[in-house]
Chain A
Amino acid sequence: MMGKRLLSMLMASVALAAAGVTAEAKTVLHVMHQGDPGWVSTYGEVAKRFEAANPDVDVELIYAPHDAYNEKFSAAVMSKQLPDVMELDAPFLANYVWSGYLQPIKPLIDQDVLDDMTASNIAQGTYPIDKDLYAIGLTDSSVVLYGNRKYLEAIGARIPKSVDDAWTQEEFEGYLEKLAKVDGVKWPIDTFRGYGIKTEWITYAYGPILQSAGCDLIDRTTWKSTGTLDSDACVKALTMMQTWVKNGWVVPQSSGTNQFFAEGHPAALALGGHWFYAEAAASMKDDIVVMPLPKFGPKGASPNGTWIWGITTASEHPDIAGKFVSFMLKDKLYRDYATADSGYPGLKSFAAASPLYDTGGPLAVAFEQASKTAVARPPHPAYPVITSTFMQAVDEIFNGGDAKTALSAAAAKIDEDIEENDGYPPFDEQQ
C-alpha cells in the first residue's frame, strides 16, 4: 500500500516536472501598455488570440497607469526589466531611441502593415537621425475646431468644408467676439484648459498655433530654442491667446472639459481632440460642426502623434515581438474597439473601414489634416524638457504673465538642458 502511494507520488512529480519543462519551453513575451479599462480588456483579448495562434508563446501584459507610465518605464530601465514590446507616447520616441532603449522595427513588422501606414504615422514613429522606423500604431491623432451649429448660424459664420478653406485668424477672432455676445454663450471657446499642465495637452494642441503663426518650440535645424520660442511671432501668438483669456472668451481651467456639450451648451466652440467627438456628438447630435483648425499665418498646422508600439533593445525575441505587433495591428476585434473609441486612423485600411473618418464622414476633415497640415512635436531627445517647460510658460502667460518674459525664460531653460547634455550628440551635428 505504502509502496503504491510512493509510486503514484513519484509519477505525479514526474508529470508535474514534465509540465514545468513544457511551460519553460514557451517563449514569454512581455508587453507594457497603458489605457483605460476598455483598452486593458482589449489588449488582454488580443494576447489570448495571439497565444491561441502561437501556442509556443506566452504573452505577459504589464499594465502601468497613464499618469505613472514614465515612472514605471524608468523603474524598468533601472532594474533591467524592460519589456519586449512597449507602448510609448510618440513625442518621447526620440528620447528613447537616443537613450538606446528601442530598436528599428522595419525588419520585424509584416510588410503589408508597413505599406499600410499613413505619412503621419510614419512621421510619428521615425527617428530623425537615421530616418529609420522605431514604432508603429494603428492610430494617430489630431485636433479640430468643433462648433455649435445654432450659435454659428446666429452670427452668420462661414462654415469651412475642408482644410484648404479653414478660417483665418481675423475671421476666427471676429467670430469669437461676436459669439461672446450671443444669448446662451458663456464662453465663446473651450481650449480645454481643464486638462491642466500635467498632461501633454498644451504642447500638443497649442504648439500648432505657434507653428501656423510662423514659429516653433525650437529651431529644428540648429536645435536651439532661444530666438525661436521667444521670437516675435511666438510672443504675438501667445499674447493673442492671452487676450482671449483676458476677454473672458476661454473656458477657465476650473470649469472642467465639457462646457461645449454640458447643459445649456455654454461654450460655442471647442478646440478639441478627435476623441472629443464621440462625447460631444452623443449629447449634441446634429448641432455639432467639425471644422479644420484656423490658420494663424499663411499656412495651417495641426498636431499628430499618439501612443504607439515599439520593440525594445532588451528583447531577446524581437522576431516574436514583431510578430505580436503585426498580429495586433491586423486583429479585427482590436480594430473594432479602436473604431468604437473614435480611433484616429494611422493605417490606411483602418481609415477606409472607419465611417467617422472616411470621405463624407463627420471627422473626414480631421483625417484630411493628417496629410495636409500635421506637424510632429519636436523629435529631439530633449523633448521631455521642451514640453514641460513650454507648458509652464503657457500656464504663466494665461495667468497674466508677460509673454516675452515667460517664453524667453522657457527657451533659455530648454537650451540649458541641451547644453548640459552636450547637444545630445549626434543631434548637435545636424546644425
Chain B
Amino acid sequence: MSDIAISTPQAQMTRTRSAVGSLRIVQTACILVIALVIVSPLFMLLIASLKDDRFQILADMGSFRAFWVSDPTLANFAEVGNFSGELAFGRYLLNSLIILALTVGSGLIVNSMAGFVLAWGSVRGRALILSLVIALYVIPQESIIMPLVIMVSRAGMTDTFAVQIVPWIASPLYIFLFYQFFAQLPKELFEAAQIDGASIFRIYRSIFLPLSLPALATVSILMGIESWNQYLWPILVTQTDYARPIAVAIATFFGQDSIYWDRAMAASVLMMLPILALYLAFQRWFVSSFVGSAVKG
C-alpha cells in the first residue's frame, strides 16, 4: 500500500503544467515546420540571387546547397540593373507599380460601391444579381481570356496601360466580399444616417467606408497580388514594351536554349519587394478581417 503514490494537488498541478509545456513544445515545433515550409522557397530564392553561377544554381537546386552561399555577390542585381531589354528594368518595375496602383485604387472604389449598393441600396432582383455575381466568380479566367483579347483589340485598347487595368477592376469575388462585410454592419447605422438626411453616397463614403478597413485591406492585398503577378494577359494584349510589367521582363531571362537563373532570381527578389511591402503595410487589417473583427451590431 505504501508504494502507491497519492496524487497531491501540487503534483497534479505539476503534471498539468508539464502537459501544457509539452503541448506548447509540440505546437511550437509544428508552427516552426509550417513556417519553414513557407519561408524556405523565399529563402532559397534570396540565396540563389546571391550566387553568380547560373549553372551552379541549377545544380544546387536538388540539395541543401540551395540554402547556402559560400561566396555571396550582388553582381546579379547589378546585371538586372543593366538589363538590356527594350527598356530599363526600373521602367518595368514602374509600369507594374502604375498598373497595381490604378487597378487596386479603382477596384476598391468600384467593388466597394457595388457591394454597398447590393447590401443596403434599393435594388430590384438583389438575390438574382448576387447569384449572378457568385456564378461569374466560378468561371475560370482562362476560359474568357481569348474572347476578352478580341474585345479589347476591337476597342483599340491594345498596348496601353488601360488594357491591363480596366478589365480587372470589377471583380465578382471582391464585390461579394464587400457585400458580405457591409451586410454585417448594424442596420441602425444606416437608418440613423438616413434620418439625418444623408444621401446613400454620403452614408457609403462617410460612415460605411471608414468602418470597412479590414475589407479594404484584404481586397487591396488580394487584388494587388493578382495585379502584380499578371503575366499571360500583358503578353497577349501588349505589342511593345512600353506598358509591359516586370513579370514579362523577368520571362526574358528564360531563353530558348538557356535559362539565366542568376538574373531571374535577382529580378524575382526585386519583384517580390513591393508586394511584400504592401502586405506588411496592410497586414494588421488583413489579419483582423480574417478573424472577424468587424463591428458587431
Contact = CB atoms under 8 A, between A and B. Distances in A.
Contacts of A62: 239-240
A259 B56 CA distance: 10
A256 B239 contact: no
Nearest to A81: B153
Contacts of B146: 74-75, 78
Contact of B55 (A61, A79, A258): A258
B110 interface: no
A89 to B, nearest CB: 9
A262 B235 contact: no
Interface stretch (A33-41, A164-172, A293-301, A406-414): A33-41
Interface in B225-245: 231-232, 235-237, 239-241
Interface in B49-108: 55-56, 58-59, 61-62, 83-86
B208 interface: no
Nearest to B250: A65
B254 interface: yes
Interface stretch (B132-140, B185-193, B256-264): B256-264
B260 to A, nearest CB: 6
B254 A64 contact: no
B117 interface: no
A35 B239 contact: no
Q: Bin chain A's interface residue count.
A: 35 or more
A71 B254 CA distance: 16
A68 B231 contact: yes
Contacts of B61: 256
A44 B150 contact: no
A234 to B, nearest CB: 27
Contacts of A307: 256
Contacts of B255: 34-37, 39, 66
Contacts of B241: 63
Contact of A60 (B58, B158, B239): B239
Contacts of B235: 64-65, 68, 71-72, 75
Contact of A256 (B58, B232, B236, B254): B58
Most chain B CB inside 10 Å of its own CB: which residue of A60, A65, A263: A65
A58 to B, nearest CB: 12
Nearest to B251: A65
A30 interface: yes
Given A40-B85, A40-B86, A30 B236 contact: no
A273 interface: yes
Contacts of A256: 58-59, 61-62
Nearest to B151: A79
A80 B158 CA distance: 12
A113 to B, nearest CB: 22
B86 A44 contact: yes
Nearest to A252: B62
Contacts of A255: 59, 62
B85 A66 contact: no
A131 to B, nearest CB: 28
Contact of B84 (A41, A279, A283): A41
A168 B258 CA distance: 31
B252 A65 contact: yes
Contacts of A275: 257-258
Interface string B203-236: 0000000000000000000000000000110011
Given A37-B85, A60-B239, A75 B251 contact: no
B83 to A, nearest CB: 7
A71 B149 CA distance: 11
B45 interface: no
Given A40-B86, A256-B59, A75 B237 contact: yes
A231 interface: no
A259 B256 CA distance: 20
B271 interface: no
A71 B231 CA distance: 12
A254 B61 CA distance: 9
Given A34-B256, A36-B253, A36-B256, A72 B153 contact: no
A67 interface: yes
A35 B237 CA distance: 19
Contacts of A41: 84-85
B248 interface: yes
Contacts of B232: 68, 71
B254 A67 contact: yes
B84 A262 contact: no
B86 A67 contact: no
B86 A61 contact: yes
Nearest to B146: A78
Nearest to A42: B84
B230 to A, nearest CB: 12
Contacts of B248: 65
Interface string A241-262: 0000000000000111111011
A63 B238 CA distance: 9
B253 A30 contact: no
Interface string A40-71: 11001000000000000000111111111001
Most chain A CB inside 10 Å of its own CB: which residue of B146, B241, B253, B258: B258
A427 to B, nearest CB: 27
B6 to A, nearest CB: 60
Most chain B CB inside 10 Å of its own CB: which residue of A35, A78, A256: A256
Contacts of A36: 252-256, 258, 260
A66 B55 contact: no
Contact of A80 (B153, B237, B256): B153
Given A30-B239, A68-B232, A78-B149, A63 B252 contact: yes
Given A30-B239, A36-B254, A258-B58, 18 more contacts: A34-B256, A36-B256, A37-B84, A37-B252, A37-B263, A63-B85, A63-B252, A75-B146, A75-B235, A75-B236, A79-B153, A79-B158, A81-B239, A255-B59, A256-B58, A256-B59, A262-B55, A275-B258
28 contacts: A34-B255, A35-B256, A36-B254, A36-B256, A36-B258, A37-B252, A37-B255, A61-B86, A62-B240, A63-B241, A65-B235, A65-B254, A66-B251, A66-B254, A68-B231, A75-B146, A75-B149, A78-B150, A79-B158, A80-B153, A255-B59, A255-B62, A256-B58, A256-B62, A258-B55, A259-B59, A273-B257, A275-B258
Q: Which 10 A-B pairs have the closest CB atoms?
A: A36-B255, A79-B153, A65-B251, A75-B236, A41-B84, A275-B257, A256-B58, A258-B55, A262-B59, A62-B239
